[in-house]
Amino acid sequence: MRKGLVIVVLLLQHLALTAKEADGNVLFETLRTKVLSVRDYTAEVKMKINVNYMKIPPLAGTLYYKSPDKMRLERHGGLSILPKKNINLTLRNLIPSGNVMVIDVGKTTIANRQVRILKVVPEDDNSGIVLTKIWIDEADMVAVRTETTTRNDGTIIMDLEYAKYIPYSLPDKMTIHLDLKGYKLPKGVTMDYDDLPEAKIARDAKEGKNQKGTIQINYLKYEINKGISDKVFEVDDRAKKQEQQ
């Protein structure tokens, strides 16, 4: 009798654990489906780039995005550029695609919001993502923070704030935290504003000085799923030369 009771307790514990794991998988798939529902958008943005070796004034422009990975930033009064691949300006690029293993870490609080934490490990070796940690506000079904470790570009931390575009899981404000050691921002962003010579930047990096930086983006207005031609993402010859430098 006692042995049978022990078996029942163990079975219930196993079922509870399985249910918890299933909840984590369902939560991740629900969030991913919501994020993937955005096929394209045009957004008026203001960007502030904080890098310790440069003084870069705030930048205003129009950001074009088309699923799955096309992006172009058109500076107001400057060059249009394609952000380099390791500058992930969209949440989609930091959420693994394909088959994944989801680990439910539990709950915590960020800025007075209760969130669930999921660790997501891609099963596809070609994704470039090793591990993504996602803090999810279940009430609004949005990611308020992500921490993505990639094979080639280190770890990228992204904090997101939402308002009227919550139904699309698109933020009104995004802060991207970057490790800039061995990292080069697009020339189209920095071309007029280099504050220090390249030699000093290289020396600081060699001496191990702080190479942290942030990109803060305020999204002022979106046009979502209106359709964008691929021609929008073709860069003119001058922009291509700047990108290659």
Q: Establish if 3 belongs to a structural domain.
A: no
> 243, 115 in Cβ contact below 8 A?
no
Give the tens place of pLDDT for each residue, 109-126.
998 889 999 999 988 766
Q: Tell me what pLDDT residue 74 has.
A: 85
Q: Establish if 154 belongs to a structural domain.
A: yes
Phi, psi (5° rounding) for residue 2?
-65, -40
Q: Tell me what pLDDT residue 175 has.
A: 93
What CATH number did the domain enclosing 77 receive? 2.50.20
Of 74, 101, 42, nearest in space to 188 by CA: 74
> 32, 196 in Cβ contact below 8 A?
no
Q: Tell me what pLDDT residue 21 has.
A: 43
Average pLDDT across the chain, whole number: 76
Place of tokens 């000085």: 209
* Stronger pLDDT, 26 or 59, i.e. the higher one: 26
DSSP reduced 3-state for 185: coil
Cβ-count burial of 44 within 10 angstroms (0-12 exposed, 13-18 middle, 19+ buried)? middle
Q: List the Cα angle 174/175/181 in 5-degree steps.
A: 140
AA identity, residue 129: I
Give the tens place of pLDDT for each residue, 148-158.
888 877 788 99
Q: Tell me what pLDDT residue 165 has.
A: 93
Of 35, 64, 61, nearest in space to 165 by CA: 35
CA atoms within 13 A on the CB side of 110: 17
Q: Establish if 237 belongs to a structural domain.
A: no
Q: Establish if 5 belongs to a structural domain.
A: no
Q: Tell me what pLDDT residue 68 has.
A: 84
Q: Establish if 4 belongs to a structural domain.
A: no
pLDDT band for position 6 (50/70/90)?
A: very low
Range of the structural domain that residue 125 is part of: 13-230
Q: Both tokens of residue 167?
A: 């139904």
Q: Is the pLDDT of residue 37 over 70?
A: yes
Q: Is the pLDDT of residue 236 over 70?
A: no
> 77, 224 in Cβ contact below 8 A?
no
CA 32, CA 143: separation in Å to the nearest integer? 10
DSSP notation for 93-115: GGS--SSEEEEEEEEEEETTEEE
AA identity, residue 68: P
Q: Is the pLDDT of residue 94 over 90?
A: no
Phi, psi (5° rounding) for residue 178?
-125, 150
Q: Count of domains in the chain?
A: 1
Q: Establish if 179 belongs to a structural domain.
A: yes
Q: Is the pLDDT of residue 166 over 90?
A: yes
pLDDT band for position 90 (50/70/90)?
A: confident
Q: Is the pLDDT of residue 135 over 90?
A: yes
Q: Establish if 22 belongs to a structural domain.
A: yes
Give the tens place of pLDDT for each residue, 170-208.
999 999 887 766 455 555 454 444 444 444 445 555 555
* Stronger pLDDT, 162 or 196, i.e. the higher one: 162
Cβ-count burial of 222 within 10 angstroms (0-12 exposed, 13-18 middle, 19+ buried)? buried
Q: Establish if 152 belongs to a structural domain.
A: yes
